[in-house]
Structure 1
Amino acid sequence: MCGTEQVPEPGDEVVDTTDAVFTSLLEDSAEELYEQAPCGYLSTLMDGTIAKINATLLDWLGLERSQVVGRMRFADLLTVGGKLYHETHFAPLLQMKGEVSGIALDIKAAGKQRMPVLVTSKVKTSDDGEPMLIRTTVFDARDRRAYEVELLRGRKAAEEARRQSEADRLRLQEALAVLQQSLLPTELPVVPGLETSSHYHTASPDLLGGDFYDLFPLHSGRWAFFLGDVCGKGPQAAAVTSLARYTLRAAALHEADPVTVLATLNTVLHERYASGEGRYCTAIFGVLEPDEGHVRVHLASGGHPSALIHRADGSADYLPTPGGLLIGVLPQAPFTAAHTDLLPGDTLLLYTDGLTEARTGPDRELYGEDALRTFTAAQTPAGPQALITALSGLLASFGDGLDDDTALLALGVPAPLPTPASDNLT
């Protein structure tokens, strides 16, 4: 019955099926195993003439045994390129070493097809070491070759995609650089009785920054300047930057009081972005009024780092503007005004927080305002251009510790030229 184990009766013969399987396998002759092997076998004389070949290889070639044995050499089974490689590399290497293994060749298969194979050959020698014949094993490499072709094709496609991606990235960087430059003055104007210099450091060529600055004339010989930093990066930050720049310029031409100008910008930003995602910025706006031997500075700040003054005597200190609120956050915002005079040899420095928030040292500590003041005081008072050059080198020294864009604007009164000593005539 199904599922019931049958117990042999006494005297019944018990057949071990495992032994029967092994017995059946042993009955297969060595010749049959040779002929029906999953790979090709052949033996050749030392001149390459085929003396023996198995059925597997004959089937691949589409030839009869009588067409091959004693009539063809191993090289005759190969394609033109394979035959050339066999004569120039394979055969000499086999003669020199007595064995070659895993050589990729192509044989002329049935139907005039090219069939990729891997060939291993070994020279059989007599007892006294004389070469007698060459035994060769031929492995079907069609699947492997197809895999290699697909792999190569995939690599080429990946490389082409990488090149295309890099080209697209370079085009994007060029477009972003042009757009970034459109948000900054091409060059600072020449201001009578004043030296000026600026610098813009882009932390990433793949992103638009939100730092901005400008210097432009007002009526009555006065000049306006501003420097600011929009929250965020990318196209939206660029749109806010453009709006802020043109608003500040237009407001200054109508009413140049720094607090009033920043209040106008606050109203514009808040009304424009209050209904959606809030957009805001920090900024310093100021007015320069040249006078006899010095320049009066009247400025106001909205949430921006304080301006730094490098005096002619080498000292450096901040012009405090505490309490100024971020611009665009509230409908009405307080802004802090400050006044100072720039004397000959003095330089006023405006900067964005990418400079002071750079990471330095093994602990990646913030660079900070104290370090900036110390660095500035260590510079020889030589005017805006010299100071900006020194600060540009400082920014470069931060390396990957500088992860935010940084804008610098320096305005200074030239120091008087030294009077040349005159010879006393006697």
Structure 2
Amino acid sequence: MLDDRVPCGYLSTTPDGVLVRVNATFLAWTGHRREDLVGRRRFVDLLPVGGRIYHETHYAPALRLQGTAREIALEVVCADGRRLPVLVNSVLERDADGTPRLIRTAVFDATERRRYEQEMLAATRRAEASEARAVELAQTLQQTLIPPTPPQVPGLDVAAAYRPAGDGRHVGGDFYDVFQVATDDWVVVLGDVQGKGVEAAVVTALARHTVRAAAVDHDAPRQVLHTLDQVLRGAATDRFCTAVLARLRRTDGTWRASVACAGHPLPLLRPSAGHPAPVGRHGPLLGVFPQPVFSDTEVTLAPGDTLVLFTDGVTEGRHRRGELYGNDRLAAVVAEHRGPAADVTDAILADVLRYQSGDARDDIAVVTVAVL
């Protein structure tokens, strides 16, 4: 018969599932004998326990209600006990009065498909595990880049905050550091490496440690930034970096700050009795241009003066309508909050997050230094 030679299994059963016809293809796949099946067993009898449950709860009801059941994934138990993955298409034929008469079923060998699905599942699990390891590594690296609490600096009140974008799983390149070079000689640096993930975290670590080493050899912030630029351009990465660096020295009881910027938002200086204003001059990105020029700006800090350093995750935070948070909003928050450095820092972070409905689109880092 023609249906014996088709490249798929073909079965006919009574409405209650008793096999009345089985083609040679199905018999060859499963190893069953025709005389053991026709008139003696039901189609559901060829399924394992799980398949029988699915047959009775999903397959058979759908066939009765809709008259068809398509691409049903099942397993058929072969004569030797092995299981053959199959896809089943069935049609319920009825008499003129609507009485169920016969069920015709086409069975397709899904062994290769099942193997492919299993390989895809295994590959997906490996990729997910690899991503989880990468995220864990990046987060571990970033924990070494962000000091948990700023140091105690005699004569200064220092506070800092860091908030990663989104759910925090993909670590970004924002970093800050506050460290001592000598007595009454401190460096505050805040930077932003392009991109996210492990490579960004590695470049961030390189930048932070380079600044620490260069600050020992060079007094001027512009020279430290120049050294960092050389290191980044010589590193095996195409990621650039922005940074703002302030060196604070106290002489005869008076603090002076020297500020240099490289492709970074200028810090805000709020006098004890005045409005905040940017301090410093813009410089080029780090790790990009062959002969960059950076400059220092010197300012004297009186008691009550406050210097605020921040990344572009603050001023470029976006409202739902797409509007940027902007410099004016930041300056207004700094002008309004004249308490401890921690209060100013917390107020900035809270206002930026509120502006973005609690969902930071970019990493946010803020360092506030107030003169006591």
Counterparts of residues 185-196 of structure 1 (less than 5 Å):
185-196=147-158
User: After superposition, where does 1:231-380 map in structure 2 within 5 Å?
Assistant: 232-233=194-195, 234=200, 235-236=202-203, 238-248=205-215, 250-251=216-217, 255=219, 260-267=220-227, 269-270=229-230, 273=233, 281-289=242-250, 296-303=255-262, 304-311=264-271, 315-322=274-281, 329=289, 333=293, 335-344=295-304, 346-362=305-321, 364-378=322-336, 380=337
1:365–1:286 Cα change, 3 Å: same
SS of the aligned residue for 1:213 comes to strand
Partner SS, residue 381 of structure 1 = coil
Q: Deviations over 1:145-188 (max 9, x none)?
A: x33x5545544443443333222222212211222232343432
Distance 2:139 2:26 in 1: 66
Say yes or no: does 1:389 pair with 2:334: no
User: Structure 1 residues 319 and 251, CA, compared in 2 at 3 Å: closer, same or farther?
Assistant: farther
Q: What is the CA distance between 1:199 and its match in structure 2?
A: 1.5
| Mapped partners of 1:170, 1:35: distance in 2 | 51
Q: Which deviations, in whole Å up to 9, do the C-alpha atoms of 1:18-47 show, x marking residues without a partner?
A: xxxxxxxxxxxxxx9999999555669x9x
Equivalent positions of 1:99-110 (< 5 A) are 102=69
Aligned partner of residue 170 in structure 2, secondary structure: coil
1:218 paired to 2:182: yes
The size of the alignment, in residue pairs, is: 345
Q: Which runs of 5+ in 2 are unaligned?
A: none
Contact kept, 8 Å, 2:146 with 2:177, in 1: the verdict is yes
Question: Cα–Cα, structure 1 residues 135 and 113, in superposed 2: closer, same or farther, change >3 Å?
Answer: farther
Where 2:313 maps in the other structure, the secondary structure is coil
When residues 382 and 154 of structure 1 are mapped into structure 2, their CA distance, relative to the original with a 3 A threshold, is farther
Residue in 1 that maps onto 2:143 = 181
For the aligned residues, what is the CA RMSD? 5.1
Cα separation, 2, equivalents of 1:273 and 1:242: 16
Would the alpha carbon gap of residues 58 and 73 (structure 1) be closer, same or farther in structure 2, given more than 3 Å must change? farther
Counterpart amino acid of residue 251 in structure 1: D
Q: How has the CA–CA distance of structure 1 residues 139 and 376 changed in structure 2, closer, same or farther, with 3 Å as cutoff?
A: same
> 2-side partners of 1:240 and 1:327: how far apart?
10
Q: Structure 1: which amino acid aligns with 2:265?
A: P
Shift in CA distance, 139/111, structure 1 to aligned 2, threshold 3 Å: farther
Instruction: Normalising by structure 2, report the TM-score.
Output: 0.68
Per the TM alignment, residue 197 of structure 1 is displaced from its structure 2 partner at its CA by 0.7
Q: 1:400 to 1:195 in 2, by over 3 A?
A: closer
Which stretch shows the higher mean deviation, 316-325 or 167-176?
316-325
Deviations 1:301-323 (A, max 9, x none): 2344333234556x531253236
Contact 1:310 1:347 in 2 (8 A): yes
Decide whether the 8 Å contact of 2:174 with 2:364 is kept in 1.
no
1:40-92 Cα offsets, whole Å, 9 max, x none, are 55669x9x999xx568589956346xx999xx55549944858x959x959xx
Structure 1: unaligned runs, 5 residues or longer: 1-31, 415-426
Distance 1:183 1:40, change over 3 A: closer
Identity among equivalent positions (%) equals 19
For the residues of structure 2 that align with 1:109 and 1:278, how far apart are their CA atoms? 59
Q: 1:106-255 maps to which residues of 2 (within 5 A)? A: 135-141=101-107, 143=108, 146-147=109-110, 150-203=112-165, 205-209=169-173, 211-216=175-180, 218-219=182-183, 222-229=184-191, 232-233=194-195, 234=200, 235-236=202-203, 238-248=205-215, 250-251=216-217, 255=219
After superposition, the C-alpha distances for 1:222-271 in whole angstroms (9 at most, x for unaligned) are 131222435634244543443223212x136xx4xxxx342254256448
User: How much has 1:355 moved relative to structure 2?
Assistant: 1.9
TM-score (norm 1): 0.61
Q: State the 1:198 CA deviation.
A: 0.7
Shift of 1:209: 0.9
Question: Does the 8 Å CA contact 2:67/2:93 hold for their aligned counterparts?
Answer: yes
Partner SS, residue 316 of structure 1:
coil
Match of 1:4 in 2: none
CA contact (8 A) 2:353 2:359 kept: no
Matches within 5 A, 1:58-77: 60=27, 62-63=33-34, 73-75=40-42
* Whole-Å separation in 2 of the counterparts to 1:356 and 1:35: 74
* Cα distance in 1 for residues equivalent to 2:369 and 2:65: 84
Distance (whole Å) between structure 1 residues aligned to residue 21 and residue 43 of structure 2? 16
Once the two structures are superposed, residues 4-24 of structure 1 have per-residue CA deviations (whole angstroms, 9 ceiling, x without a partner) of xxxxxxxxxxxxxxxxxxxxx
Closer/same/farther in 2, CA of residues 185 and 396 from structure 1, 3 Å limit: same
Larger relative contact order (Cα-Cα within 8 Å, sequence gap ≥ 6): 2
Aligned counterparts of 2:77 and 2:278: Cα–Cα separation in 1: 88
d(CA) in 2 for partners of 1:43, 1:334: 88
Does the aligned pair in 2 maintain the 1:325–1:335 contact within 8 Å?
A: no
Do 1:198 and 1:407's aligned partners in 2 also have CA atoms closer than 8 Å? Answer: yes
Question: SS state of the match for residue 355, structure 1?
Answer: helix
Determine the C-alpha separation between the residues in 2 that align with 1:232 and 1:76.
62
Select between 347-356 and 225-234 the one with higher mean Cα deviation. 225-234
